[in-house]
Structure 1
Amino acid sequence: MRGSWTARLLPWAVGLATGVLALGPALGRGFVLRYDMVFVPEPSVEAALAGADGFPRAIPSDVVVAALSALVPSDLVQSALLLAIFVLGTAGAARLALRLLRDRGPLGPGTAVAAVAAGVAYVWNPFVAERLLLGQWAVLLGYAGLPWVVAATARLADRTPGRGLAGLVCALIPAAIGGFSSVLISALTVGPVALWNRGPAVTRWWSRAGVFVSALVLVSLPWLVPSLTGGAVTDPLGVEAFAPRSDTPFGELGSLFVLGGVWNAGAVPPGYGEPVTALLRLVLCVSALAAWAYWMWRRDRPVIGAGVSAGAAAGFAVALLGVVGSGRALTAGLIGLWPGFGPLRDAQLYVAPFGLLQALGFAFAVSCLAGAAHTPVWRAGAGAFAALLPVVVLPGLAWGAGGRMAPVDYPDEWHGVQAEVAADDVPGSVVVLPWNAYRGLDWSGETVVSLDPATKLFDRRTLWNDDLSVGTADGGTVVVGGEDQLAREAAEVLDPDPETGLPRGEELADGLGGLGARYVLVSTPVDNGFWYEGQGFEVAREGAELTLLRVPEARVKADKPGITGLEVTGGLVTVVAIIWSVARSGSSLVLQCPGPKLGRSTRKESPK
C-alpha cells in the first residue's frame, strides 16, 4: 500500500468527490454571492493592494483572486478555490492520518479506509458548513492547509533549519492566502508541535521554534506590515456580537464541541440542529475524542499527539471565552488595551484545531473497527460505512447546502458602471451607497444577502460603511464599529438616513471631493433623484438598479492611489519566500508528502 499509486491518489480522489458533493451547483458558471464571499468580474490587483484603513483582512486573498483572474475568468477562479478547500483538506488529513497509523502495523485496505474517513470527517462538519455559508472561503482555505502545516512542522525535528523552513513556508501557502485569521489558527494549532516532540530529533526545540516563527512572519508580511503602520482600531463590541451561539439542543458548549456554534443564525445548514441528527453528531464527536484519548494512552501513540492535543485544547479554551460573560469581558478588555487582540472576537473560529484532532481520532476508531472484522469484505464494508457517517449526520451541507449556494450572473448594468469608471483616468475613490454594508440581492429570483459587490467592483479605492449590525437573541441590535477612518469621515459628510442609507447632507460633491472621492455609486433602485439634485454631481450613468454620479474633476482633491515602499517590500519578501520554499523543498504543496515516518525510530527523512 505504501508505494502504490492507488494509496497515493485515493485521498485526492475522495477529496474531489467530497467537494463536488458538497458544492454541487456552486461549481457552475456564474458567481456565488453570500455574506462575505463576493467575487466580481475582472477584479483589480491595484484596488486589492490599495485596500482600506484598518486591518487589511482581505488583502492576501483579494490579490490572489485578482492575479488568477487575469489568467482565467474570475467565476472559474471562485469555483477552483472553493473546490480546493475540500480537496486539500481531505487529502491533507487523510495522508497525515495514514502516516500516524503506520506505526500500528502493516498498511492495508482497512488503514487506507480509516485515513480516508479522517479526510472526510475533517471537511464534512458543522465548522466547514457554517463558515462556507458565511462566505469565509479564505479562512476555510487556511483550515484546509492545517494538516499540511502540522506535518511540515513535525518534519522540523529531522531537517536542517533551511530545509525545514522551506517546507513549512510551502505548507503555509493556504494560510497565507487566508490572511491573518488563518495564520493565527495555524500558529495556535502547530506551535505546540514545534516545541514538543518526544521522538529523536536532529534539531533542538529552540531551533524549531525559531524556524516556526520565521515562517509565520514571512507569510504574514502582506497583512502584518500595513496593520502595524495603519493605526487600526477594533471595536470591543464585536466580542458580544460574534460570541458563539447555540445551534444544537446542547447549548453553546455542546455546539462548540460538535464544531458548530457560529454567531450568525443565517449560516446554519438546512436541517442542522434537529434532535436526531444533532444527537448522532454528538455521538460521532464523543467517539472520535474517546478514540484519540485511547490512542494517546497506548504505547504506539503518535509523536505529534501531545502537540496536537495542546493546540486543540488551547483553541477550545479561546472559543469558551466567548461563551461566559467573564470571558467576553476579558477579551473586550484586551482589545481595548491593544487592537491586535481583535481576532479573538470571533471565538468560535478557534475550534478549528479541535476539528483536526477529532478527524485523527475518528481515523483511529475506524482503523480499530476495520481491524476487528473477520473477513476482508466485512472489513471494507465496516470501514466504508464509518467513513460515510460524517455525511450522514450532516446532510444539509450536500449540494451547495440544498441549493443555497447557487451561482448568479451580474446584470449588464454592473458591467457598464465598471467599464465607465475604468475608462476614467482622473484619480479618486468610489463612494458606495446606500450606506449599509450588506445587500439583499434578488438577481436569481430569491434574496441572497451579501456584502455589496460594488465594494470590490472597481479598479480604485472604495468607501463604504464597514459598520456591522448584528441581531441579538433578545431582538436587539449590536452595531460593531468599522475600522476605516476615511469611511467614518465620509459618513460625516453624507449624514446618511438610518432607514434608507441615502445621504441627507448638503454640498455633497464638495465634501466628498475633499476626501478624494471621484464617483458615487447608488447600488439600489432610486425612485427620484431629489437628494443629489443641486449637490454638484454630474450624472454619469442611470439605470433601473444602479445610478453612477461623478464628482467634477475640479472638486476632487486626490492623488494617485498607491502603497508605501514598506508594504511593497513586505509583499515581495513573502512572494520570494514562497517561490524559494517551493524550489528548496523540491516540491509543491500538493505533491509534497505531508510527513516523514513519524515513528520513534525515525531520525532522518529519506531523500526524494
Structure 2
Amino acid sequence: MATAWRAGWPVPAATGLALGLLALGPGLAPGFVLSYDMVFVPDPAFTAVTFGAVGTVPRHVPSDAFAAALAAVLPDDAAQKLILLAVFVMACTSAASLVPSRRTLPRLAAGVCYAWNPFVAERLLLGQWALLLGYAALPWVVAAAADADARGGGRRLVRALLPAAVGGFAALTVSGVTALTVAAVRGRAAAVRRVAAALAVLSLPWLVPGLLRSGGVPGDGGAVEAFAARADTPFGTLGSLLLLGGVWNGETVPTAYGNAITAGLWLAVVLAALFAYGRWCADGPWKRGLAGAAAVGFAVAALGAVAAPVLRGLIGLWSGFAVFRDGQQFVAPLAVVVAVGLGVAADRAAQARLGMVTAGAVLAPLVLLPSLAWGAAGQLRAVHYPADWKRARDIVHADDAAGAVLLLPWAAYRSPEWNHGRRVLDPLPRYLHRRVIMNDAVTVDGTTVAPEDPRAVRLDALVRSGATLTQALRREGVRYVAVDDPANAGADAARRLAGAETVLEGRDLVLYRIQGAAQVRDERVPPAAVVVAWLITSVAIVWSCLGSRITLGTPLLARNLRRRVD
C-alpha cells in the first residue's frame, strides 16, 4: 500500500545553515571574499556591461545583475554572505527532500553529503558561486522535471530552475542536461517539451546578447585539454570524477584532499551510496531518470580527459559546445545520486536499529573532508578594498568626460597582497561604473584562450608590443589607465604612458588620465532585444509564482516534499 510522507524542511535548512557557517568561517567577517571567479564589490552598479549589451561575452549575466539588486537592499558584503550561505541551505534542504523516509537522520545524511563534498569545495575555491546556486537546487529540478507534464508542472519546473537561471549559462546548462534526461527517461514527450521551453525562456537574458554580439558565441577547441578534468586522488581522473572531484585547477583542490586513506574511505562511502540507490531507493518517478542524468553527466565530465579530439570536433561544429570543456561541473547529477543513496543506506541502517551507522552516514562527509571547514582551511577570508581603489573610483566617477578605462597589467587574474595573495579575477571592471577594458584571455598550463572582449581584441597586439601607448589609446577612446599592481608593473606603465597625467599614485593603484580621448562607441547588442529578453523571462517567473505561496516549504519544495512511495 502506498504511504504518503512529507519531508519537513526546517531541520535540513538549519543544518545547511550550520554547514555554511562552518565552511565560510573567516569569510563571514566584514568585507568581501575574493577567490578566482568570485568577485563582489562595494556599491555595484547596473550598467550595459551588467546585461551583456556592449558586445562582451555575457558569462556574468544575469548573476551580476542579481548580486547588484541584492546589494541595493542589503549591505554590499552582507549580500555576498547571504548568497553563499543560501547555497548550503538549499543544497542540504533539496537533497534531503528526495530521500523517501520519515526519519530525520537519513534525510540529513543526504543533505550533508550534498552540501559538503569535493565538488562543492573545489567550485567554492574556484569562486563559481553562480554555478553552485544551480547545483544547490538541482534535486528540486530533478523532482520537478519528472512531473513536468502534470497539472501545474510547468510552474513548478520554472520555480525549481530559478536558482540556476540566476547562475547563468553554466548553471542552467548543467540543470538543463539533468532535467532533459530525467524527462526523456520517463518517456513523456510533453514533459520534454515543457522542460525545453522552460530552459529556453529562462536562458533569454544571456542567450540573446550572446547570439547577437558581433563575434557570436566564442569557442576555442584548442583549450579542451587545459580545462579537462584531472586526477586529484590516487584513483586517476575517472576515479576522481566518481568521487565528485577532478577539477581542472589544481590550486583549488582543498588542502590535504586526495590522500590515500581519506580518498579510499570516501570511495567506500560513494560505492555504498551507489549500491543503496540502485538496490533500495524507491522506484519513484525520478529514480531512473536521475540515474540516467548521472551517467550522461559523468560521460560529459570525462569527455575532455578521455576523448579530447571528439570534444574539439564538436566545438568546431558549433562553438556553443565549449561549455563542455569544463567537464567536471557535469558530475553534479552524480552528486545527487550519491547523496540520496547515502540517505537511503542510512535509512536501512536505522530500520535495522544500527544507530551508529546512521549517525556515521551523517558525519562521514565532514570527517573525510575537514579542510572545507573554516574558510577552506583559511583560504577564504574577508578583505577590504584598499583606500587607493576608492580614491580612484571617486576621481573617475567625478569626471564627466567620455572615455573608457584600460587596465594594466594586461592579464585577467591578480594575486594582490591585500587579498592575502589569493588569486582573483581583477575586480576593477565591476568596481568602476565606467567601461573597463581588460585582457580577458585566460592562460592555463601554457595554453591561452584568446580574449573575447571586442575592444580587448583590438588593443591586444598594441599592449603586448611594449610600445608607447598614450597616442594610440587616445585614438581608441581610452580616458584613464589604471595600474593595480604598481610594484610589478608601475615602472613599465610610467614609461609607456609618457604624456599622460598621473592623477593618483598610491601603493595599491596608480591612475593616469589621457586628455582628448576620441569618441569610440562599443559594439552594441540591440538594447530593445535585451529588454524584450528580460521582459519575457520576468513574465515567465511571475507566471510560475501565481497562485502559490512563496515560502521555503512552498511552492518550490511543495511538489518535491510530498511524495508517495511504495
- With normalisation by structure 1, the TM-score equals 0.87
Match of 2:503 in 1: 540
Find the counterpart in structure 1 of residue 161 from structure 2: 172
Match of 2:554 in 1: 591
The partner residue of 1:119 within 111, 116, 120 is 111
Query: Does 15-24 or 574-583 show the bigger shift?
Result: 574-583
Q: How far off its partner does 1:233 sit?
A: 1.9
Other-structure match for 2:485: 524
Alpha-carbon displacement from aligned partner over 1:217-254 (angstroms, at most 9, x marks no partner): 11111110011111232211221100111110111111
The partner residue of 1:330 within 280, 289, 310 is: 310
Structure 2 Cα separation of the partners of residues 428 and 50 of structure 1: 19
Structure 2 counterpart SS, 1:432: strand
User: Do the aligned partners of 1:428 and 1:560 also contact (CA within 8 Å) in 2?
Assistant: no
Question: Which residue of the other structure, out of 189, 195, 200, is the alignment partner of 1:217?
Answer: 200
Say which SS state the counterpart of residue 204 (structure 2) adopts: helix
Q: 1:551-579 CA distances to partner (integer Å, 9 max, x unpaired)?
A: 32453434798862101110122122222
Over 6 Å off, 4+ runs: 1-4, 559-562
Which residue of structure 2 aligns with residue 478 of structure 1?
Answer: 447
Displacement, 1:428? 2.6
Tell me the alpha carbon deviations over residues 47-93 of structure 1, each in whole angstroms, 9 at most, x when there is no partner. 41246545311121111111111222221111111101100110011
How far, CA to CA, are the matches of 1:61 and 1:185 in structure 2? 16
- The gaps in structure 2 that reach 5 residues or longer are none
Q: 1:383 is aligned with what amino acid?
A: T
SS in 2 for 1:49: coil
Distance 1:530 1:422, change over 3 A: closer
- Give the structure 2 partner of residue 241 of structure 1: 226
Q: Select which of 331, 338, 349 maps to 1:369.
A: 349
Q: Which moved more, 1:484-493 or 1:275-284?
A: 484-493
Residues 192/560 of structure 1: CA separation in 2 closer, same or farther (3 Å cut): closer
Letter in 2 for 1:266: E
Aligned to 2:463: 494
Query: Aligned pair in 2 of structure 1 residues 143, 8: CA closer, same or farther (>3 Å)?
Result: closer
Tell me the distance in 2 between the aligned counterparts of 1:554 and 1:191. Answer: 51
State how far apart, in whole Å, the 2-side matches of 1:229 and 1:577 are: 22
Match of 1:227 in 2: 210
Partner Cα distance (1:323, 1:529) in 2: 40
User: 3-state SS of the aligned residue for 1:94?
Assistant: helix
CA distance in 2, matches of 1:3, 1:292: 19
Q: Which amino acid aligns with 2:190?
A: S
Partner Cα separation in structure 1 for residue 421 and residue 336 of structure 2 = 35
Corresponding residue for residue 191 of structure 1: 180
1:95 to 1:279, Cα distance in 2 relative to 1, 3 A? same
How do 1:132-211 and structure 2 match up within 5 A? 132-159=124-151, 163-197=152-186, 205-211=188-194
2:376 aligned to 380, 401, 411, which one?
Answer: 401
Q: Given that residues 130 and 267 in structure 1 are in contact (C-alpha distance below 8 angstroms), is that contact kept between their aligned partners in structure 2?
A: yes
> How far 1:491 sits from its partner (Å)?
1.3
Distance of aligned partners of 1:590 and 1:181 in 2 relative to their CA distance in 1, 3 Å threshold: farther
Look up the SS of the partner of 2:447 in the other structure. Answer: strand
**Structure 1's 37 and 182: CA in aligned 2 closer, same or farther, altered over 3 A?**
same
C-alpha separation in 1, matches of 2:360 and 2:37: 35
Instruction: State the match for 1:57 in structure 2.
Output: 59
Change over 3 Å in CA distance of 1:558–1:189 after alignment to 2: closer
Deviation at residue 435 of structure 1 after TM alignment: 0.2
Gaps of 5+ in 1: 199-204, 472-476, 497-503, 602-608
Give 1:457 deviation, angstroms. 1.1
Q: Does the CA-based 8 Å contact 2:98-2:561 persist in structure 1?
A: no
3-state SS in 1 of match to 2:546? helix
Counterpart check, 1:286 vs 2:271: yes
Percent of residue pairs identical: 43
Count the aligned residue pairs: 556
For the pair 1:351 / 2:331, whether they are aligned, the reply is: yes
Counterpart in 2 of 1:201? Answer: none
In 2, the alpha carbon distance for the partners of 1:362 and 1:313 equals 18
**2:508 counterpart SS class:** coil
Q: Does structure 2 retain, via aligned residues, the 8 Å contact 1:155–1:596?
A: no
Alpha carbons 2:53, 2:527 under 8 Å: kept: no
Distance 2:553 2:166 in 1: 15
Alignment partner, residue 474 of structure 1: none
Residues 510 and 555 in structure 1, CA contact (< 8 A), matched pair in contact too: no
Match of 1:457 among 431, 436, 439: 431
Which deviates the most, 551-560 or 172-181?
551-560
2:75 and 2:460 map into 1 onto residues whose CA distance is: 35
Cα distance between partner residues in 2 of 1:423 and 1:563: 28
Distance 1:596 1:118 in 2: 14
Q: Distance in 2 between matches of 1:138 and 1:343?
A: 15
Matched, 1:130 2:93: no
Question: 1:461 offset after TM fit, Å?
Answer: 2.1
> Any idea what SS the aligned residue of 1:89 has?
helix
RMSD value over aligned CA atoms? 2.3
Q: For residues 246-261 of structure 1, what are the structure 2 equivalents within 5 Å?
A: 246-261=231-246
